[in-house]
């Protein structure tokens, strides 16, 4: 389905979408957590992770530009290993976002709570209001929100740059990584925490058809976004090295030290906007995936309909209903989000690894070193997650044989009776 060029996005909007997706709710939180885990060595953790994720980002960029499709990783795997394998990956993604997105909405609410000093009674109503906002942002398509998110990326980058510059002229933190005894376990632990910050590279591949020129724009968009995210996280970590650990956001403390006041409002507002951006991109990409799977007869034909703005509105509404249900269950069930986040990471590792294995078949031999490095990275993270991988492996174990049976027996029967 070809959309008018006015509804398409360019490389800079794409870079803005990816950057705000990766920064999300965590840009002002994760650096503080990595320092608590690895001390001054947190800088090394971010450097290693950024370097390690670049081959993965490049492989995704090459796959997305060569095979633009709303199915994203599911389509890559299907092209390489067949329909059953590809649709298994598609359903894995389908089952992870309704868990991960509400978690991001809850984290976004924490910024709202700090910003406005709300009581706990406001939690669920505000979170449900975010669901309503997501519907409005996506109803007319991704182009408008892509422009807004490019502006948000520039604002976050300018704020972090100003804070780093202010810190450098005032008093340079002691960031030498030689301080203290080196130990690999805290560095790997900090990398494990930081890995959450790069979950989302694959989301842009679902929106490849929304680019004006995927072959030209996707590689610079994904690589620019990934590099910019790594630099922003490094800048934030640099700022916080000497900041005393407290119950509040350390970035607010640093901002107040440099600019006298206003940290809670500026950091809080950017945290809210970044959180909304993360969930917004995943909502858009997932609705496209449902629409794609519906066109392929994996999901009911009900989801094939597009509204006047060429948006799969029924798929969008279904996603938001599931997210709403998850928020209710989490709110009243008092569930621990840490396990949910670990399960999300596990599913993404499986999706990334399957995409990298697909690249072995789909990309030319000159990309093989990048693919091998990417596979090693995914495998290492999977080992580090340990039992958190069981959710992803369980989903795969259930879906793979079911979809094989569907492809082998059910769909041919439907075609014969049609």
SS (H, E, C) the chain: CCCCHHHCECHHHHHHHHHHHHHCCCCCCHHHHHHHHHHHHHHHHHHHHHHHHHHHHHHHHHHHHHCCCCCCHHHHHHHHHCHHHHHHHHHHHHHHHHHHHHHHHHHHHHHHHHHHCCCHHHHHHHHHHHHHHHHHHHHCCHHHHHHHHHHHHHHHHHHHHHHHHHHHHHCCCCCCCCCCCCCHHHHHHHHHHHHHHHCCCCHHHHCHHHECCHHHHHHHHHHHHHHHHHHHHHHHHHHHCCCCCCCCCHHHHHHHHHHCCCHHHHHHHHHHHHHHHHHHHHHHHHHHHHHHHHHCCCCCHHHHCCCCCCCCHHHHHHHHHHHHHHHHHHHHHCCCHHHHHHHHHHHHHHHHHHHHHHHHHHCCHHHHHHHHHHHHHHHHHHHHHHHHHHHHHHHHHHHHHHHHHHHHHHHHHHHHHC
The confidence band for 245, taking pLDDT boundaries of 50, 70 and 90, is: low
Give the CATH number of the domain where residue 79 resides.
1.20.1740.10
pLDDT over 90 (residue 162): no
Per-residue pLDDT, 335? 63
pLDDT over 50 (residue 189): yes
Per-residue pLDDT, 3? 44
Per-residue pLDDT, 146? 65
Cα 65 → chain centroid: 19
- Does residue 417 fall inside a structural domain? no
Q: Percent of the chain having pLDDT more than 90?
A: 15
The average pLDDT across 143-151 equals 66
Range of the domain at 354: 5-411
pLDDT one-digit tens code per residue, 2-43: 444 556 777 777 777 777 767 766 777 788 888 888 888 889
Per-residue pLDDT, 252? 76
Query: What gap in Å lies between CA 367 and CA 52, rounded to an integer?
Result: 16
pTM: 0.75
- Does residue 416 fall inside a structural domain? no
pLDDT over 70 (residue 85): yes
> Residue 143's closest CA among 289, 304, 20, 16?
16
- Does residue 279 fall inside a structural domain? yes
The average pLDDT across 175-196 equals 71
- Does residue 40 fall inside a structural domain? yes
Higher pLDDT among residues 167 and 201, named by residue:
201
Per-residue pLDDT, 141? 64
What is the count of structural domains for the chain? 1
The confidence band for 177, taking pLDDT boundaries of 50, 70 and 90, is: very low
The average pLDDT across 281-301 equals 82
- Does residue 178 fall inside a structural domain? yes
CB–CB of 318/360 below 8 Å? no
- Does residue 418 fall inside a structural domain? no
The confidence band for 344, taking pLDDT boundaries of 50, 70 and 90, is: confident
CB–CB of 9/17 below 8 Å? yes
Per-residue pLDDT, 77? 93
- Does residue 333 fall inside a structural domain? yes
> Counting every residue, how long is the chain?
418
pLDDT one-digit tens code per residue, 351-383: 999 999 999 999 999 999 999 999 998 888 787
Higher pLDDT among residues 234 and 94, named by residue:
234
Highest mean pLDDT (candidates 55-59, 63-67, 145-149, 150-154): 55-59
Per-residue pLDDT, 363? 92
Per-residue pLDDT, 393? 92
- Does residue 312 fall inside a structural domain? yes
Q: Is 242 exposed, middle or buried (0-12, 13-18, 19+ CB in 10 A)?
A: middle
CB atoms within 10 A of CB 58: 21
Q: What's the mean per-residue pLDDT of the chain?
A: 80
Higher pLDDT among residues 248 and 1, named by residue:
248
Highest mean pLDDT (candidates 46-55, 180-189, 274-283, 306-315): 46-55
Query: What gap in Å lies between CA 416 and CA 194, rounded to an integer?
Result: 51
pLDDT one-digit tens code per residue, 255-272: 777 777 777 788 888 888
């Amino acid at each position: 389905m070809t959309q008018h060029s006015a509804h398409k996005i360019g490389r800079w909007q794409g870079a803005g979408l990816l950057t705000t997706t990766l920064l999300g709710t965590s840009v002002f939180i994760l650096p503080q957590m990595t320092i608590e885990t690895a001390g001054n060595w947190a800088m090394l953790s971010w450097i290693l992770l950024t370097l390690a994720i670049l081959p993965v980002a490049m492989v995704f960029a090459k796959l997305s530009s060569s095979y633009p499709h709303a199915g994203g990783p599911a389509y890559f795997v299907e092209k390489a290993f067949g329909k059953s394998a590809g649709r298994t990956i598609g359903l894995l993604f389908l089952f992870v976002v309704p868990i991960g997105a509400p978690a991001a909405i809850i984290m976004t609410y924490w910024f709202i709570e700090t910003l406005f000093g709300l009581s706990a009674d406001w939690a669920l109503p505000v979170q449900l209001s975010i669901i309503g906002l997501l519907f409005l942002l996506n109803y007319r398509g991704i182009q408008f929100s892509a422009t807004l998110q490019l502006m948000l990326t520039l604002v976050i980058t300018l704020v972090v740059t100003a804070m780093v510059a202010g810190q450098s002229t005032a008093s340079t933190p002691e960031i030498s990584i030689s301080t203290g005894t080196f130990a690999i376990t805290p560095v790997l632990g900090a990398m494990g925490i930081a890995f959450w910050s790069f979950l989302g590279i694959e989301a842009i591949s679902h929106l490849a058809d929304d680019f004006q020129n995927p072959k030209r724009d996707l590689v610079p968009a994904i690589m620019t976004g990934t590099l910019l995210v790594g630099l922003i996280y490094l800048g934030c970590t640099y700022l916080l090295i000497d900041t005393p650990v407290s119950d509040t956001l350390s970035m607010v403390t640093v901002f107040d030290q440099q600019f006298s006041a206003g940290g809670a409002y500026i950091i809080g507002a950017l945290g809210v906007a970044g959180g909304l951006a993360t969930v917004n991109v995943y909502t858009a990409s997932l609705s496209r995936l449902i629409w794609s799977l519906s066109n392929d007869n994996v999901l009911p034909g009900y989801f094939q309909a597009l509204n006047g703005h060429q948006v799969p509105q029924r798929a969008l509404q279904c996603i938001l209903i599931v997210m709403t249900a998850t928020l209710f269950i989490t709110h009243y069930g008092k569930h621990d989000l840490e396990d949910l986040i670990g399960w999300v990471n596990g599913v993404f590792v499986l999706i990334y690894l399957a995409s990298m294995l697909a690249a072995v078949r789909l990309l030319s031999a000159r990309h093989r070193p990048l693919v091998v490095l990417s596979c090693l990275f995914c495998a290492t993270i999977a080992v580090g997650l340990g039992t958190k991988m069981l959710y992803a492996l369980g989903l795969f174990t259930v879906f793979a044989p079911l979809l094989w049976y569907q492809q082998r027996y059910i769909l041919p029967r439907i075609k014969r009776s049609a």
